[in-house]
A and B are shown apart, each in its own frame.
Chain A
Amino acid sequence: MFPRLVYESFRRQTRRKLLAGMAITLGVAVATAMIAVATDIGDKISRELRSYGANLLVTPQEDTLDVEIGGVNLKPPSDGAFLNEADLPKIHGTFWHHNIVGFSPMLPVPVKAGSGSDAKDATLVGTYFNKLLSFGKDDFTTGVRITHPWWKVQGAWPDDNSQNVLLGEHLAAKLAKKPGDSIDVSGHRLAISGILSTGAAEDDQIVAPLAVAQDMLGKPGAVRRVYVSALTKPEDALARRDPKTMTPEMYDRWYCSPYVQSIAYQLQEAIPHSHAEQIRQVAQNEGTVLARIKGLMLLVTLAALFASALAVSAAMATAIFERRREVGLMKALGAGNFTVAAIFFAEAMLLALIGGIAGFAAGSFLARQIGRSIFNSQISIEPVLFPIILAIAVFVTFAGSAVAIRRAIELDPVFALRGEA
């Protein structure tokens, strides 16, 4: 009899059930989408924050001081130490290489730009633009197009294996050069493939493939510094500790967390005779911005959960309130309070399950759409979210129905049947 009552209730009151079911589905869908977005937003924003560029700088351990004002190097060119270009692919072999978005080596060389008496002192910087490297069996590309996303080129980016260069926009204006021209740089004739605008020192420099700069300096394989752009975890008390003072367990935990400090440590391990340091302007601010945005989304998600819980409760209360005549009839026919409540709760449970499943599917789709349209990447839905969402849906539906069910049961059947409730 019990299952039949529930079944008939669904069969005969399709409209009401549909309304309540839709409210649950919608509530669950919004909750699922918001939870998925909120849990993934840290990762997504942290990727967006990479548009600030590299957060780590690798320099030779025994380097002399930089004597540089406004991008002009005043140090003798061959002075100081260098890193070895051949060591760079090893960055891809570090523990956190999945978190390393890209890296660019830099080799500044003082040169004379232009020919004859117009020649100007300038700096030529050798780097990777979008260089194909391989480490073990992995092939990957890296360079300034990844680590310096604000660099804009009018014309074409040079090929890493060519003799083509980019000319900084201020230098280009001074020398009256445009893309397609060629330029004499300390006796080498190089083709200008594009004009570079960065809003920084590079606007007065020449940017060339690394091999060209090494050739000009006469030091094959030399690299002055490497900019590394890595996805990191915001710094906490453990991150700031000196690894030398840690217990072995602490050290393991520190080493296996993507702190900017532990990635720097691993870079030093990977590249011989190197010193890796966080670029504080980028690395330090990342954490606060990330924390603010994550906190904001968490609070907004709470508001969404609250709103959907209320929507579900309201719909359930309305659905039950409408049926007090039915309750009166059942009670007049001798049904006990427990039986009546059981029927309603069974119906609520069924609705919650169906609505929960449909809502989870709709919410996952919604989250995916948000991820694709805003971040151009998938928002992954953790499978563990499914039972949690379902449990929340059942709980909220029960809680929303409870008051209405109690009031329906407490009503005297006589009044209920006369419609005087």
Chain B
Amino acid sequence: MSTLPSAVHTPRQVAERRTKGTHTSMFVRMLIRAAVLRRGRAASALLAMVVAAAVATAMMNLYVDVQAKLRTEFRNYGANVVVVAKEGQALPANTLASVESVLGSKALAVLFSYAVARTKDGQSVVVVGTDFNRARQLNRWWGVSHWPVSANEALVGMRAAGLVSPDRKPFELTFQGKAVQLATAGLLQTGAGEDSRIYIDQSEFQGWTGVTPTTLEIAVNGSLDEIQQAMKQLAAALPDVDVRPIRQIMEGEAKVLNKTRATLYASATLIVLTASLCVLATLIGWVFDRRRDFAIMKALGASERLVNGFFAAEAAVLGVVGAIFGFFVGIGVAAWIGRVNFHAPVIPRFSVFPYVLAGSVAVALISAILPIALLRRVEPAVILRGE
């Protein structure tokens, strides 16, 4: 029995035991007991923290990702860069291949070649040679009743149809004395110049007219800077042609995107601010509510540093746990918004986690320090008497 320290109670031995004993274990125990015994209050504080962190994560993820999502929507407007041959020349034969090797998968390029043919009764009509599969991807707004599939089928513009084949029967066109028979596969409606033209397959067009492509329309994906970068690369790779931006498309997109981004930014700021203030209010209430704990600790002789450290550690743990849970919930929310609105999930960005973590811990610390600073001025006796 003499080995048990509890059997010996001289003040000196007690003091010795206390200095040897680990303060840290007591500290951790206090933290755990505080969380377990007051789990209702701790849970509500944690919930507020999780919601705030989730909302912040979701908004940051969305803010970064929405621009990319919207850009793919804007690509439905079609080409934003055009490569044209210098006057009186045709595009070099390797143009398409070199554009594709420069830009790779982030661009869609379609060749167009033009010629003026004559109908049987001598009327002029513009015939365009192109790659239908690519044109279909590039110009999604084209209203097409049926895309050509087999040889000698043509896509006939709404207004051209009235001239060449009002009854949708096969028709004949001549170019420099060479005649060709074409069948109407479908009608094309765009409301613009395309309505007056006839589109046929590129190789058929070349075999018939001998005219090579003069225009390459490119839809480049990316931000304004990336597009300008791509144009510089193209101009360097293709010195014999003109690379021009389609300003109508580029500037319209930039304007709408900027406004959307600014609105989203303002909304995100407001929401994150509300969530942080909600956490602040909840935590301040929580800490203030525990002024008795605070007073008892002080009355039992705890140093200022220990008390401050205890509440700060508690807040920090809350901040870290809240940030971790909130981050995953927030990623889920962002993914859900992406799926509902853009039919494509928002890619989780782990790079925002440090910001969420730092923000959560900072808010938690502020809300712990504020009430403690207020309470420090009050005598423990006053608090314990319940005044």
CA distance A44 to B262 in the complex (A): 13
Cβ of B44 under 8 Å from chain A: yes
Cβ of B229 under 8 Å from chain A: no
- The digit string for A25-61, where 1 denotes a CB below 8 A from any CB of B, is 0110010011001000100110011011100110000
Cβ of B92 under 8 Å from chain A: no
- The digit string for B184-207, where 1 denotes a CB below 8 A from any CB of A, is 000001111101100000000000
Q: Which residue of A lies closest to B190 (CB)?
A: A280
Residues on B with C-beta less than 8 A from A162 are none
Residues on B with C-beta less than 8 A from A370 are 263, 266
B263 A297 Cβ-Cβ under 8 A = yes
Residues on A with C-beta less than 8 A from B284 are 19
Identify which of B70, B259, B337, B341 contacts A44 (C-beta below 8 A): B259
CA distance A75 to B193 in the complex (A): 14
- The digit string for A237-277, where 1 denotes a CB below 8 A from any CB of B, is 00000000000000000000000000000000000000001
Cβ of A161 under 8 Å from chain B: no
Cβ of B124 under 8 Å from chain A: yes
Cβ of A299 under 8 Å from chain B: yes
Cβ of B221 under 8 Å from chain A: no
Residues on B with C-beta less than 8 A from A300 are 59, 62, 264, 267-268, 271, 337
- The digit string for B376-387, where 1 denotes a CB below 8 A from any CB of A, is 000000000010
- The digit string for A51-89, where 1 denotes a CB below 8 A from any CB of B, is 111001100000101111110001100000000000000
Identify which of A69, A281, A317 contacts B126 (C-beta below 8 A): A69
Q: A37-B267, A65-B163, A292-B342 are in contact. Are A322 and B285 (CB under 8 A)?
A: yes
- The digit string for B275-303, where 1 denotes a CB below 8 A from any CB of A, is 10110011011101100100000000000
B-contacting 9-mer, from A98-106, A210-218, A302-310, A349-357: A302-310
Q: Which residue of B lies closest to A296 (CB)?
A: B341
Name the distance in Å between B77's Cβ and chain A's nearest Cβ: 5
Identify which of A69, A280, A325 contacts B141 (C-beta below 8 A): A280
B247 A199 Cβ-Cβ under 8 A = yes
Cβ of B142 under 8 Å from chain A: yes
Residues on B with C-beta less than 8 A from A330 are none
B270 A293 Cβ-Cβ under 8 A = no
* Residue in A22, A198, A285, A301 with the greatest tally of chain B CB atoms within 10 Å: A285
Cβ of B260 under 8 Å from chain A: yes
A281 B282 Cβ-Cβ under 8 A = no
**Taking chain A's interface residues, is the majority helix, strand, or loop, or is none over half, making it mixed?**
helix
A280 B191 Cβ-Cβ under 8 A = yes
Residues on B with C-beta less than 8 A from A19 are 281, 284-285
CA distance A152 to B255 in the complex (A): 15
B292 A419 Cβ-Cβ under 8 A = yes
B141 A285 Cβ-Cβ under 8 A = yes
Cβ of A321 under 8 Å from chain B: yes
CA distance A281 to B190 in the complex (A): 7
A48 B247 Cβ-Cβ under 8 A = no
CA distance A200 to B252 in the complex (A): 14
Identify which of B44, B191, B274 contacts A57 (C-beta below 8 A): B191
Q: Which residue of A lies closest to B260 (CB)?
A: A293
Residues on A with C-beta less than 8 A from B163 are 65
Identify which of B247, B255, B275 contacts A307 (C-beta below 8 A): B275
Cβ of A366 under 8 Å from chain B: yes
CA distance A303 to B62 in the complex (A): 12
B256 A57 Cβ-Cβ under 8 A = no
Residues on B with C-beta less than 8 A from A284 are 141
Q: A293-B70, A307-B278, A314-B282 are in contact. Are A48 and B256 (CB under 8 A)?
A: yes
Q: Which 7 A-B pairs have the closest CB atoms?
A: A311-B278, A318-B285, A199-B247, A52-B252, A295-B341, A66-B196, A284-B141
Q: List 26 A-B contacts (CB under 8 A).
A: A27-B274, A34-B270, A52-B249, A57-B192, A65-B159, A66-B193, A67-B116, A197-B247, A280-B143, A285-B141, A296-B341, A297-B264, A299-B341, A300-B268, A300-B271, A307-B274, A307-B278, A310-B48, A310-B278, A314-B44, A314-B48, A315-B285, A317-B44, A370-B266, A374-B262, A374-B266
Give B residues with C-beta under 8 Å from A.
Answer: 41, 44, 47-48, 51-52, 55, 58-59, 62, 66, 69-70, 73-74, 76-78, 84, 114, 116, 123-126, 139, 141-143, 159-160, 163, 189-193, 195-196, 214-215, 244-252, 255-256, 259-260, 262-264, 266-268, 270-271, 273-275, 277-278, 281-282, 284-286, 288-289, 292, 333, 337, 340-342, 386
Give A residues with C-beta under 8 Å from B.
Answer: 19, 22-23, 26-27, 30, 33-34, 37, 41, 44-45, 48-49, 51-53, 56-57, 63, 65-70, 74-75, 148-150, 152, 197-200, 203, 277-285, 288-289, 292-293, 295-297, 299-301, 303-304, 306-308, 310-311, 314-315, 317-319, 321-322, 325, 366, 370, 373-375, 419
